[in-house]
Structure 1
Amino acid sequence: MRVSVIGAGLGGLCLAQGLRGAGIDVDVYERDPAITARFQGYRLVLNPAGFEALRGCLPERWHPLLDAIVDDTRVERLVLDPQLTKIGELGPPRSGLVVDRHVLRHLLLTGLDVHTGAAFTGYDVLNDGSNGQDIRVRAHFAQAAPAVADLLVGADGVNSAVRAVLAPQTVPTDTGVRFVIGRTPMTERFEGLSRAFGAKIVGDGVSLLLGAMRFRIPPKQAAEELAPEVTLPDTGDYVRWAMILPPDGTLGEQTPQQAVLSRIEGWHPDLQALIEQADPDNSTLLSIRVVEPRERWAPGPVTLLGDAIHATSPTGGNGANTALRDADVLRRSLIQAGGGGRSLLDAVGDYERQVLEYGAEAVRQSLEALPAYVAKP
């Protein structure tokens, strides 16, 4: 069996690692000209299901390294005013494991065949199986040779080019919410903001959300000690911050950092310093768009994974977890097909029925959570 994965995000890479570990041939195709062409490095909170799915797709020898680069977190989820005085609660305290996306992505890239500069343009199904032959699929790319596989997996995000061909009736929905996100190196001063980690700070029609990323062992050091074949970036502890803007907010001529600073004049000096000392190269404006899985597409040797089929609002905290779950469910299904226990199309069909059900629920939950994080004007 050979699998072509379109997109080198966390879900696609996790699937590729799981298939590689099971002896299934897999290639990953990424449209970016290089793996490091875009910064992809904010913290994620993994729930138990997401973490176990990730762990299940990784080689067992890397489990100690994975344990070393995640950290436990427990936050109170308060609502604070601009001077950090408590004015309410978002809900009960929340626990989980935090991991840095940039670090995790480098772990998942280790040992994989990733073809960069390969923008997907379409596919052909080579036969319909009616003559007793196995169905195969040929993927086409703008600047790379076609690739033939038994299964094509679109793991290419909210703007999925694979989905546009396979299920053109499923399109992203823009919630109208915009947010600026960035990161600031952790210092002793910012450790003092611990009460605000996991909180919503509200003022002047915007809300600011903070989260701490701490490493049990610095990632580069952890890899050198626990898995020398893995190279991880030299990333230090930091604070991830995100400001949710008023509906349909824009930056105008301001940089993302300037836009946040202009909206927190008079706020607590530690909050102002946090934004002032942020890495400007790692600050950006993003929109919150969702993809809600609807009717199932025609069965065949092409399927979808992660944000390509169920992009969630980040306020739900379940986007990465659901993509990792997809990877593990599809991995298990394909292993069964590879072992002769069922046909490939049956295995993919079973995966799709599951992902459409729990993916829709993940999107629904994320949208229900969104209003609580948006400040009232």
Structure 2
Amino acid sequence: MSSISVAICGAGLSGLCLAHSLLRAGFNVQVYERDLAPHIRRQGYRITIDEYGIAALQRSLPPHLFKLFLATTSPIEEASYFRVTNKDLGEIFRLTFKGDPSGINLRTPRQIDRQTLRTIMLEGLQDRVHFGKEALRAETESDGATLHFSDGSYIHASLVVGADGVNSVLRKQFLPDYEPDDIDNWGIYGRTLLVQDEGLLVPRALKASGVFAMGPSNRGFFFTTMRFQEAPQTAFARFEVNQIPPITDDYVMWGLVLPKEQFPEYQEKLSSEMLQRVAQENIQNFHPILQRLVKRADVDYTMAVKFRAARKPTTWSVSRITFMGDAVHVMPPTGSHGGNTALRDAALLAEKLEAAMIQSESLEKAIGSYQEEMSKYAFREVEASKTMMKRFTVKNPLMRWAMLRAVPWIRSITNKPLTTE
């Protein structure tokens, strides 16, 4: 398989996952990333890895890196919750998830810091990930594709994989009619240390919960904790990896959701300080706990995010260039399926390519099979995440009154308040 060269455009989660899987199978794989360094740009915080994401990582990573991934996830509780509340943390409804504290059941979802996972996945690929390589275009040929970069260089590979995110230049070139749509809501993300002044910044009752607080004017505020089962610096040393953990302290991830018409003009040019001020201004009428999370945030970690949703290609020709992750099926964060679907893509594409080589089949057959299968599950997740976002930002006045006032009042009669210790 070493005669088959694969060029991956993008060193995000899916790109690195695919690189590990193909490298272990004997392919000649190289990764090209436009960023100048691994942690030069904020790319999100805590993410949920579900059974598909876990299976993809287990299949793709060397065993010691998969164990390191498990060691740096959050502790699994007997039960965890996702709560939807009004702005005063009055509960509207609650989803309960049974956990496996032993961690043995790998179908049980778990939380991890995105930057930490990416750092783990960079281990072993130091000589194969090339930073500062911004792709401009690609050209397909009978025996592969040529990838051109902004510095004037180019490479030829048997297969080029576009894993370069929502703004993929390769998707714009090869799927120009399927640019993702802006949806009605955008967000501001932030990070706040969980322990401050020798105490937890959120009540213990919410330590194992994700909370989405619905506010006035279709605003919403989400938060959840990222607690490390084992301190990353300890785990990295124990597994003798060469990477340095980018995050060492437990924290609260939060996000403010705003209708895009309420978002500041020129939001992409706003500094972290300005974004944090915007967030503070928009949650002045929310519960003090939520205001405190924004006020005490690590300002440098505040960033703006446009929520977008992919459109499914009705025709997708098979060539020596294919796509995975946000480059082809970006989705809103509701449901936590974006990252998992991208990891699932990587495992599936690796599986198809390996099978094709073993069975002496063409790369085109493997790519066509991958695109057909991936499209079915990926765009199902896109639609599900769009539907959930609409439910969280319902505009019907009567429905919002019932959800934000009547239901929390009824539930408060029998339920213990969320804000108690």
Matched residue type, 2:348: V
Residue of structure 2 equivalent to 1:164:
172
How far apart are residue 233 of structure 1 and its match? 2.3
**TM-score with structure 2 setting the length:** 0.83
1:192 and 2:203 correspond: yes
Is the Cα contact below 8 Å between 1:306 and 1:323 reproduced in 2? Answer: yes
The answer on whether the counterparts of 1:312 and 1:366 sit within 8 Å (CA) in structure 2 is yes
Q: Kindly tell me: are residues 247 and 41 of structure 1, through their superposed partners in 2, closer, same or farther at Cα, counting changes over 3 Å?
A: closer
For residues 77 and 30 of structure 1, the distance between their equivalents in structure 2, rounded to whole angstroms, comes to 35
Q: Report matched runs for 1:113-128 at 5 Å.
A: 113-127=128-142
Match of 1:131 in 2: none
1:75 equivalent in structure 2: 80
One of 228, 234, 239 as aligned partner of 1:226: 239
The correspondence of residues 1-377 of structure 1 with structure 2, limited to 5 A, is 1-71=4-74, 72=76, 74-86=79-91, 88-89=92-93, 91=95, 93=97, 96-112=109-125, 113-127=128-142, 135-187=143-195, 188-192=199-203, 194-195=205-206, 197-205=209-217, 206-251=219-264, 255-374=274-393, 376=395
Amino acid at match of 2:63: E
State the secondary structure of the residue aligned to 2:289. Answer: helix
Normalising by structure 1, what TM-score?
A: 0.92
Post-superposition shift, 1:111? 2.4
Q: CA deviation at 1:94?
A: 7.5
TM-superposed CA distance for 1:193, in Å, is 5.8
**Can you give the 5+ residue segments of structure 1 that lack an aligned partner in the other structure?**
128-134
SS at match of 1:76: strand
- Partners of 1:341 and 1:232 in 2: how far apart? 41
Query: Aligned in 2, Cα 1:251/1:30: closer, same or farther, shift over 3 Å?
Result: same
CA contact (8 A) 1:290 1:310 kept: yes
CA apart distance, 1:75: 3.4
Q: In structure 2, do the counterparts of structure 1 residues 231 and 340 end up closer, same or farther at CA, with 3 Å as the change threshold?
A: farther
Deviation at 1:121, TM superposition (A): 1.4
Aligned residue type for 1:142: S
Distance 1:358 1:56, change over 3 A: same
- Matches of 1:94 and 1:215, distance apart in 2: 19
Q: How many residues align?
A: 369
Q: How far apart in 2 are the matches of 1:375 and 1:285? A: 22
When structure 1 is superposed on structure 2, of 270-279 and 101-110 the one drifting more is 270-279
Structure 1 residues 234 and 261, CA, compared in 2 at 3 Å: closer, same or farther? closer
Give the letter aligned to residue 248 of structure 1: E
The residue identity in structure 2 corresponding to 1:306 is: G
Q: What is the one-letter code of the residue matched to 1:48? A: E
The superposition leaves residues 120-147 of structure 1 with CA deviations (integer Å, 9 ceiling, x where unpaired) of: 11122233xxxxxxx2211111115211
- Between the aligned partners of 2:369 and 2:349, the Cα distance in structure 1 is 9
Other-structure match for 1:132: none
Q: Secondary structure at the match of 1:178?
A: strand
Flag the 1:63–1:116 CA change in 2: closer, same or farther, 3 A: closer
- Give the drift of 1:371: 1.6
Distance 2:119 2:338 in 1: 19
Letter in 2 for 1:77: F
For 2:213, give the aligned amino acid.
I
Deviation at 1:62, TM superposition (A): 1.9
Question: Which deviates further from its counterpart, 6-15 or 109-118?
Answer: 109-118
Give the superposition deviation at 1:91: 4.6
Q: Deviations over 1:339-361 (max 9, x none)?
A: 34422111111111111111111
Shift of 1:236: 1.1
Q: Which residue identity is paired with 1:337?
A: A
* 1:310 Cα deviation after fit: 0.7
Check conservation: 2:57, 2:66, Cα contact below 8 A: no
Q: Which runs of 5+ in 2 are unaligned?
A: 100-108, 398-421
Q: 1:93 to 1:374 in 2, by over 3 A?
A: farther
C-alpha root-mean-square deviation of aligned residues, in Å? 2.0
Deviations 1:3-32 (A, max 9, x none): 000111111111111111112111111112
Please list the CA deviations of residues 59-111 of structure 1 after superposition, one character each: whole Å capped at 9, or x if unmatched. 1122221110112365322232333232x116554862101100011111122
Distance 1:157 1:228 in 2: 27
Residue identity opposite 1:277 in structure 2: R
Tell me, what secondary structure is at the counterpart of 1:107? helix
The question of whether the paired residues in 2 share the 8 Å contact of 1:122 and 1:141 is answered with yes
Q: What amino acid sits opposite 2:235 in the alignment? A: A
Rounded to whole Å, the distance in 1 between the matches of 2:185 and 2:119 is 30
User: Does the 8 A contact of 2:82 with 2:210 survive in 1?
Assistant: yes
Please report how far the alpha carbon of residue 218 of structure 1 lies from its aligned counterpart in structure 2 after TM superposition: 1.1
Q: Secondary structure at the match of 2:179?
A: coil
**SS of residue matched to 1:227:** coil
Distance apart, 1:374 and its partner CA: 2.2
SS in 1 for 2:210: coil
Shifted more, 162-171 versus 68-77: the winner is 68-77
Letter in 1 for 2:88: Q
